[in-house]
Amino acid sequence: MSTRENIMRHLNIVAQLQPALYQPQHAPYPDLIDNAHYRAYTRSSHDVGGEADIPITWEEKEEEIWEHNTFVTCEVLAWRGVWNAEERRRRQNVDVGQTQYLGLPYYGRWLMTAALVLVDKQHITLTELVSKIDEVKKRGEIYE
């Protein structure tokens, strides 16, 4: 089988396992999982090295204010001991799943992860987070 056929077979298997395209199936017994399915089950969203893709044009982009503020906020959370760099990387690159990994901007994943960690570790409640988001949205409406 050619490399292209192997890649397409792998991507088709992975596509069946993704939440957006999920097809209900029974969990197979270990002896029924072939190498291709094992690779698809163990693949994480950010593990794209060597996979087929389109060429991407490299462009310098000036960082937006919200991106800079997100970076600083996440660094402060680390300084305060809320999380460490490995936990942040794991939660924003591996645990988010393919749909969010590909659908959110880079610092968008940082921001979402920071909110999840603050709620999960009970530094804030979900109600407090939602209230603060509503407050910030209202502030933004003033300037429109």
Q: Which domains does the chain have, with CATH numbers?
A: 3-42 (no CATH), 65-142 (1.10.472.20)
Residue that wins the pLDDT comparison between 59 and 49: 59
Catalytic-role residue among 101, 106, 107, 143: 106
> Does the predicted TM-score (pTM) go above 0.75?
no
Quick check: 45 and 96 in contact, CB under 8 A?
Answer: yes
**pLDDT (tens digit, 9 = 90+) per residue, 2-46?**
677 777 777 777 666 655 545 566 667 777 778 777 776 666 666
Phi, psi of 45 (to 5 degrees): -55, -40
**pLDDT (tens digit, 9 = 90+) per residue, 77-127?**
999 999 888 888 888 887 877 778 778 888 999 999 999 899 989 999 999
Query: In the annotation, is 106 catalytic?
Result: yes
Quick check: 110 and 63 in contact, CB under 8 A?
Answer: no
DSSP code at position 136: H
| pLDDT score for 43 | 64
- Pairwise CA distance, residues 76 & 80, whole Å: 6
- Pairwise CA distance, residues 138 & 143, whole Å: 9
- Pairwise CA distance, residues 88 & 118, whole Å: 12
| pLDDT score for 18 | 55
